[in-house]
Structure 1
Amino acid sequence: MSDEKTHIVPYRVYAFVLVALVVLTFLSIAITGYDLGKYTVAGALIFAVVKSFLVLTYFMHLKYDKPYIKIMVGFVFAILVVTIVVTFLDYLYR
């Protein structure tokens, strides 16, 4: 265990990510007030994806993890995307 590398992240990075998450949260709430038609949900989902990327990268320290951990997280997200696509295709062709 002594050969493991540690990483020290400055507090300013966490503060910047926190401010970005708060701003993105307010923007995702504000986008529902505009009538963008079918793109309203897509816009809110884009904000959610960016926020989850920030949380995974900085707060869950995925940026500093080993490559195989990143591959496993990517695989989980790929399964999630496939599940959502199959669900929407099933709903579309009923």
Structure 2
Amino acid sequence: MAEDKHHHIVPYRLYAIILVALLALTFASIGITEIELGKFTVAGALLLAGVKSVLVLIYFMHLKYDKPYIKIMVAFVFLIFVVVIVITFLDYLYRV
């Protein structure tokens, strides 16, 4: 039984660009706490965290080169995460 393994060579330059983007997004998520956005501060921080996690998944965990069913499973997990966050915010919003 021969396994069909394809190795993708990713240049170090791309990793460096992603690293700089992750650092910039990290500093942006720290900086967003200094800006008075009211009730949108947490949503902005979660949005930045989501973008960072997608970058890590795509490039550092090589999801970009994985099989389609694995991408579907990861998307399903993200969908469940978003649903849980929305339910949490709705509970907090309508709490008496």
TM-score normalised to structure 2 length: 0.86
In the alignment, is residue 52 of structure 1 matched against residue 87 of structure 2?
A: no
Runs of 4+ in 1 over 4 A off after TM superposition: none
Deviations 1:29-53 (A, max 9, x none): 0111111111222221121111111
> 2:79 corresponds to which residue?
78
CA drift of 1:77 comes to 1.2
Task: State the alpha-carbon separation in 2 of the partners of residues 90 and 36 from structure 1.
Answer: 21
Question: In the comparison of the two structures, how many residue pairs are matched?
Answer: 94
CA distance in 2, matches of 1:37, 1:89: 17
Identity %: 72
Counterparts of 2:94 and 2:40 in 1: how far apart (Å)?
21
1:17 counterpart = 2:18: yes
* TM-fit CA distance, 1:92: 3.4
TM score, norm. by length of structure 1: 0.88
Decide whether aligned partners of structure 1 residues 28 and 90 sit closer, same or farther in structure 2, where only a CA change above 3 A counts. closer
- The alpha-carbon distance between structure 1 residues 90 and 39, as it changes in their structure 2 partners (threshold 3 A), is closer
Give 5+ residue unaligned stretches, structure 1.
none
- AA aligned opposite 2:50: V
Q: CA RMSD in A?
A: 1.5
Q: Hey, what does 1:64 align to over in structure 2?
A: 65
